[in-house]
Amino acid sequence: MDQFKRILVGVDDSDDAILAFRYAIDRAKRDDAQLYLVSVLETEEINVFEALTKDYVHGERKDLEQHMQKYVEEAQKAGVKDVQAVVASGNAGETIVKDVIPHVEPDLLVIGSHSKKGIARHFGSQAAYMAQYSPTSVMVIR
| Secondary structure of 62-73 as H, E, C letters | HHHHHHHHHHHH
**φ, ψ at 8 (rounded to 5°):** -115, 130
Q: What CATH code is carried by the domain that includes residue 127?
A: 3.40.50.620
- Give 37 or 44, the one with higher predicted confidence: 37
Is residue 115 situated within a structural domain?
A: yes
Distance CA 89, CA 95 (A): 7
- Residue 111 forms part of a structural domain: yes
Q: Which of 33-47, 66-80, 111-125 has the highest mean pLDDT?
A: 66-80
In-domain check, residue 1: no
| Residue 114 amino acid letter | H
Domain count, the chain: 1
Distance of CA 50 to the CA centre of its chain: 24
pLDDT at 58: 53
pTM: 0.85
> Does 54 map to a domain?
yes
Give yes or no for a contact between 107 and 4, defined as CB atoms under 8 angstroms apart.
yes
Structural domain harbouring 93 = 6-141
Is residue 43 very low, low, confident or very high in pLDDT (cuts 50, 70, 90)? low
